[in-house]
Structure 1
Amino acid sequence: MLPQGVSIAHPDKLYIGGEWVAPQSGETIEIVSPNSEQVVARTAAAGPADMDSAVAAARQAFDHGPWPRMAPAERIATFRKLVDHLRPRAEELAKAWTAQVGGLASFAGPMHLGSIATLDQIAGFAENFEFVEQRPSTGAEVGLIAHEPVGVVAAIAPWNGPFGIMANKLAYALLCGCSVIMKPSPETPLEAYILAEAADVAGLPPGIVNLVPADREASDHLVCNPGVDKVSFTGSTVAGKRIASVCGERIARCTLELGGKSAAIIRDDFPTEAAAGLLANTITIMSGQVCAMLSRAIVPRHRHDEMAKAIAREMGKIRIGHSDDPETQLGPLAMKRQLERVESYIADGKRTADLVYGGNRPAHLNSGYFIEPTLFANVDNSSRIAQEEIFGPVLSLIPCEDEEDAIRIANDSNFGLNGSVLTQDVNAAYRIARQIRSGAVGQNGMRMDFGLPFGGFKQSGIGREGGPEGLLGYVESKTILMDGMPSEL
């Protein structure tokens, strides 16, 4: 059972050791549409024994197979074949995303074409990366630094951007010479199936790419397997803490891209209506289910009330509806438990702040996981709605006394993933950006560029993905001191 327009050869199988195999668990995953609350797809589900099989296959492929020992140019050429297979399937990927998590169909096509283009860009980074470089040395005539693959990688992707995030992890790992075990979210396994099929068509050696969709218990078993050299995880901070503790026990490597509670600082030179339009139409992107979302807006106290009214007016213009309607601006939340989570935060916000707009399920939609865009004003930055990641279209408006106070409030968070400065003064934007403790800051909006490094400060994560720097997370650096230059270099 698959969504209309999505064609996967073996949804009832796992991809392990270069073969499509039935899960030893005998379990399946049911995927429920957030638009209709009906089951739209079923796939295989891996259990602990399947995880062990995948690790064994990846371990064999890395320790004894040709992939890690190929010249980088050979790996790049094979990877480009994988990308070539994905291009004509962009529409399938878009339909899978809309069916599984309710992503807007109007946004799905450009989003997935962009993600495939990013893979070409990553291949370009690998072409220009010095996997072996010469450095001046006081300890030998020739000093070489060899950047060697880290090993077996468990790549764990979330449900909000399942293709782009998993594809990027796969790209960096493969181009560095690693073997990979893809563990997609149980809510969104379909994109990883298409990636596995692309790897198969491209002719990657058996065991270099493996696919094991699974629930949390089996996923934890994968992370705990000592045959995994590195875990690359994107998801919640709670799950990231567990992964970090497991990896710490055996000094395994990990890259963690976790949650956020990012702030937008509004300066007095930025017009109220422009700020309101920007903030209202940002908090609804992907129904607010974006780790880098600007979910706190910090405004000078003397502008607070007019800003609240302006944002409410903009939220009132937003069209809520089913994902496949081209007029829809705000689709459903991805799943029932996410809707319930957002509603619980809204209930808490009503006790601690002023509900200015939204907070309810839309009256015209009797089924599906829909919630109105929601604005709270006079929010205390120490409250739950300001400190915890809601992952929904809920915006907190926080008053500040001056610029120094705004920066203090922005940094008063356990998170540090993203941020923004709304100002017409580029020098002020840069000055404030340098003082915000986050991995990224954009002027005048939630700006993203996956060709540049992305990651967080504090509890928003460890390490960086994206850009040439993304390759560094998948290599170990080895120093080699020689009496002369080897001819094989």
Structure 2
Amino acid sequence: MSVSTITTGRVDIPVPGTDKLFIAGSWVEPATDATVDVVMPSTGEVVATVAAPAPADADAAVAAARTAFDEGPWPRMSVAERAEVCSRFADELEKRLDTMNRLWTYESGYPAAHGEMINSGAGRMIWRSAIEKAPTLAWEERRTTASTDVLIQRQPVGTVLGILTYNGPVVLLGMKIIPALLAGNTVVIKPAPDSQLTTRVVAEAARAANFPTGVVSVLAAGLETSRHLTAHPGIDMIHMTGGGPVAVDIVERAAPRLARTALELGGKSPAIIAEDADLDSVMATLVPGAIGGMGQVCVALSRILAPRSRYDEIVDRLAAEFGRMTVGDPFEPGTVLGPLANERALARTETMLSKALEEGARLVCGGKRPAHLDPGGFYFEPTLLADVTNDMYIAQEEVFGPVTTVIPYDGIDDAVRIANDTRFGLAASVYAGDADSALEIAKRIRSGGVAINLAGVSLTEPFGGVKQSGWGRECGAEGIFEFTDIKQILISGSYSDS
């Protein structure tokens, strides 16, 4: 296996398998000589060129996964045995967290502090929680009545295609891949094409964990090969994190064979600030919850709903807080906000901001590329918009960039109406002085998760969206069982006796 070194005048980092692909547990020669460039978001320069998967490589990965599931030991091992192998995988990942965090800065622009929080902190917690939990779950249940005796089993679905995003290629291993493996499935991991460097370190961790042949393949494929995979007759289930249009395409490609899908999609998450909220407490989590990760977070609180009686006060306070959230070189210690991950994200942010201003939104702060940073980088200032109404495009569509809107409301009923007036339903927050009132408001918001006087969600308990934010759940026991089918074994009695 070859090892290349990423060298840009900064710290040199070895990356395994840049001219190879990881299929069925081994580094192999790609089917074609196709390559993909890795562009560093902080400068816009190419820092590596790596082998790109082709449809023929996808066929090889699926065939190996199919054989491993149908004939291999993995689905027939006990949950405890699978947990032991997954624990080895976790060990290998954790040995490489520092390297993956640094490579993430090179390929997607996230500062080291963000990687430490999301990968080293949350990622480790999520996959360790799943590995610990899996052997304790009720994989079999005997249900006996006066007339019937039935055994209910949870069995693996089969071959799983796990589609990951550039904003979470490591943490999603704990939310998606390890649960699928614990349940007894074989997996083809499909990271975003932006994640070429971290992908190869993940693959090397899987190789070192010594899964049975064919159980794990890793292909950071582009559009053509990704579509080939989602339509592949050998894939039994697709578990995807990403955007709505891609999800629709996946569902359409999976529909002819009725393959299972689970989708964690985007959001336009509201944060309701009640009349009695203490703004000092609110700002501590609301501002990071709105623009953390440069807004490239599916649960970002991009719509702040403020009571009209305190609207100007809240806008002024938010503007001051946003002004303190400066953008910097992601390689510099202490940088919290770096560039956007790619040129597409920067262009989308600028286009959506321009449309918002045309529709009457007022720019409070931000709104431009910082002048003091590399002009080739994909930087953009944290941006706050006021005088926004919920029917504006900026209030209805996901930016996936650092643009936050403040929308006025008249009374809690109006706030709840605005919060629910979206096709999305992934996350939300309610900030209120009265805890009982906050809970009642939270119950009325149609969303997969709501936080009270906090931002974000628990990633060790079931999480997912409603409406066009997707279906299915990740994390917790439900996130593991998402990758199973329920099988009934009738031991005695019959349908006529039930």
Q: Percent identity?
A: 41
- Describe the SS at the equivalent of 1:390: coil
Q: 1:25: how far off?
A: 2.7
Amino acid at match of 1:335: N
Aligned partner letter, 2:424:
F
Counterpart residue number, 1:130: 138
Q: Which moved more, 1:458-467 or 1:317-326?
A: 317-326
Of 177, 201, 209 in structure 2, the residue corresponding to residue 202 of structure 1 is 209
Could you tell me how far 1:167 is from its partner in structure 2?
A: 4.0
1:359 pairs, out of 361, 367, 376, with 367
Provide the C-alpha distance between the structure 2 equivalents of 1:309 and 1:384, rounded to a whole number of angstroms. Answer: 23
Residue 487 of structure 1 is matched in structure 2 by none
Q: In 2, are the aligned partners of 1:32 and 1:39 still within 8 Å (CA)?
A: yes
Deviations 1:130-176 (A, max 9, x none): 22221234653x31111111000001101011111134321011111
Instruction: Point out the more displaced range, 275-284 or 473-482.
Output: 275-284
TM-score by length of structure 1 reads 0.95
Match of 2:417 among 405, 408, 420: 408
1:76 aligns with 2:91: no
Give the alignment of 1:437-476 within 5 angstroms. 437-476=446-485
Shift, 1:424, TM fit:
2.1
Deviates more, 1:428-437 or 1:131-140: 131-140
Which structure 1 segments of 5+ residues have no match?
485-489
| Matching residue of 1:19 | 26
Find out whether 1:221 has 2:221 as its counterpart: no
How far apart are residue 237 of structure 1 and its match? 1.0
Q: Could you tell me which residue of structure 2 aligns to residue 185 of structure 1? A: 192
Name the counterpart of 1:349. 356
**How many Å separate the matches in 2 of 1:50 and 1:329?**
38
5+ long unaligned stretches in structure 2: 494-498
Say how many residue pairs are matched: 483
Residue aligning to 2:255: 248
C-alpha change, 1:171 and 1:278, in structure 2 (3 Å) is closer
Partner of 2:429: 420
Residue aligned with 1:51, SS: helix
1:187-241 Cα distance to aligned partner (Å, 9 max, x none): 0133332222222222211110011121011101100001100001000111111
State how far apart, in whole Å, the 2-side matches of 1:201 and 1:53 are: 21
Q: How does 1:20-99 map to 2 (within 5 A)?
A: 20-99=27-106
- Deviations for 1:432-458, whole angstroms, at most 9, x for unmatched residues? 111100000001232222101110010
Distance apart, 1:333 and its partner CA = 0.5
Q: Deviation string for 1:228-264 (max 9, x for gaps)?
A: 0000100011111111222222211011000000000
Match of 1:389 in 2: 398
Q: Secondary structure in 2 aligned to 1:481?
A: strand
SS at 2:385's partner residue?
A: strand
Q: TM-score, normalised by structure 2?
A: 0.94
Question: Which residue of 2 is the match for residue 432 of structure 1?
Answer: 441
More displaced 10-residue stretch of structure 1: 101-110 or 76-85: 101-110
Asked if the contact 2:19/2:50 (under 8 Å) is kept, the reply is yes
Question: Cα offset for 1:305?
Answer: 1.8
CA RMSD of aligned residues (A): 1.6
Cα distance change on mapping 1:167 and 1:374 into 2, 3 Å: same
Distance 1:227 1:358, change over 3 A: same
Could you tell me whether the CA contact under 8 Å between 1:320 and 1:329 is conserved in 2? yes
